[in-house]
Structures are given as C-alpha cells and as structure tokens.
Amino acid sequence: MPVGAVLPTGNASGLCDILLAKPNPNMRQLFTLALLCLPFLGSAQTYFYINSISVDPPAPTTSDPVTVTVHGDLSSTGAYIVSSNAQVFGNIVAISIVAADPGGFTVLVPHNEVFSLGLLPAGTYTMYVDSLGHVWDMASGPQHVFTVTGSTAVQEVTGGDVAIGVQGEQLTIDAADGAPLGAVEIVDATGKVVVTTQSTASLYRTDLTTAVPGVYVVRLADRGVTRRFLVQ
C-alpha cells in the first residue's frame, strides 16, 4: 500500500482485531497498533473522557456524607452530558453517564460530574462506570475504590437533653427533662423519611426488625435535635 494511503474503516477494524489477537506482537506490530487502532477504538464514539475520580472527604466515616466527583473532558465545544446518576447497591457504586456531541470545535473541554451518595455504612466500596453512554473511563484502578470507616458497634448518643440508643431491634428516644418529644422523624441514608410521628410523651420506641442495615438520622424538630444511629 502506498505511503499515506487511507485504510477503510472496515479494514482498520479487522486489522486491529488481528493485531490485538497476537499473543506476542513485535515492535512493528505495536507501532501499527498505536497509529491505526487506538484512534479507531477511542475517539469515534467517545464524547466524555474520564481522567480521574475523587471522593470527598478523602477518608469518610459513617458520620460523613460522601460525595464522588468524576473529572474529565468533553470531546468538543458542543459536547454535553445528557444524564448522569449514581446508585449504591450494597458495596457497589454504579455510576451512569450519558454524553452526546452534536458538533462543535474539536477541542477537549474540562468537565466534572458530582454525585452525592449521602451517609454510608462502614465498608469498602467499588465504583463502576457504565461505558455505554459514549464515555471512556481512563481513571486509575485505585481511584475506583474507597473505604468508609466507623464503629460497627451501636453506641448510645446523648445531647440536647435527649438520649438515643439501639438495643436489640428497638430504637429508644428518651428526653431527660420529661417533656414531650414532639415531632419525631427518622431518615435513612438516601434521605427517605421512613418514620414520621408526633410524640406526646418523653419516651419513644420503635421496632427496627424490618429496617435495612445502614446509617439513619433522628430529627426532633421541636427540640432542634439531630442525631445519627446505626442499624446492623
């Protein structure tokens, strides 16, 4: 083939497959792979390139709301993010980003996507990015993993003349001053209100048998008290 000739896309794809299949490619084959195959594989349908992933705070505990930021570049001045979300399934954080590029100047445009995960139970979490939305995840492996630390034992939390504790499968809220607790609200780690009631007594108990393990928040609006507790 003459120098400078353009290889049709179909042939380029086939040649890439052949080169990638070779168990021990020589230097000439590696050079051909770099010049021909990498642009073909990485640029045609990629509109958002992920360079790195960060977690804030860097060393979260069970008391810290966790935020994940995906740092990258859009493929042109016209490229944009169509949709993005992050969901926690056990110890897996599934990140979905869909990008589009209707046209624009071909220049990399820095862009970040921020995901608020809220309070998480103690454990090690692995983040997976869905690459079907024209996204290329180039962040290093260690950046996809973070650990939330915290005591696995449930301890009574006191303050604001209110004691909150978990014994067995029951949550107890006790006001030391003997006055009614007033509005009681319990919120899970996703921000969903799972219990809301008005207590006319200074002592309130609720069953946790069906509660999903994780970090919860008790809000006593009439007393200005907010406390966290852990369900195992």
pLDDT at 52: 97
Q: What is the full per-residue pLDDT of the chain (232 aa) written as tens digits?
A: 333 333 333 334 444 444 445 555 555 555 454 444 554 444 458 999 999 999 999 988 877 889 999 999 999 999 999 999 999 888 899 999 999 999 899 999 999 999 998 888 888 999 999 878 899 999 999 999 999 887 444 444 555 688 888 887 889 999 988 899 999 998 887 777 889 999 999 999 998 888 888 888 888 888 888 888 888 7
pLDDT at 29: 52
Which are the contacts of 64, defined by CB distance < 8 A and separation ≥ 6? Answer: 57, 119, 148
Quick check: pTM over 0.75? no
Report the 10 Å Cβ neighbour count for 53. 24
Which are the contacts of 230, defined by CB distance < 8 A and separation ≥ 6? Answer: 62, 121, 150, 151, 152, 154, 166, 214, 215, 216
Q: Which residues of the chain does CATH 2.60.40.3080 include? A: 157-231
pLDDT at 144: 96
pLDDT at 25: 55
Q: Domain 157-231: state its class.
A: mainly beta
Spatial separation of the C-alpha atoms in residues 169 and 191, rounded to whole Å: 21
Which residue has 């979300």 as its token pair?
85
Please calculate the CA angle 27-33-34 and round it to the nearest 5 degrees.
Answer: 90
CA distances from 195 to 120, 185, 186, 205 (A): 19, 5, 5, 11
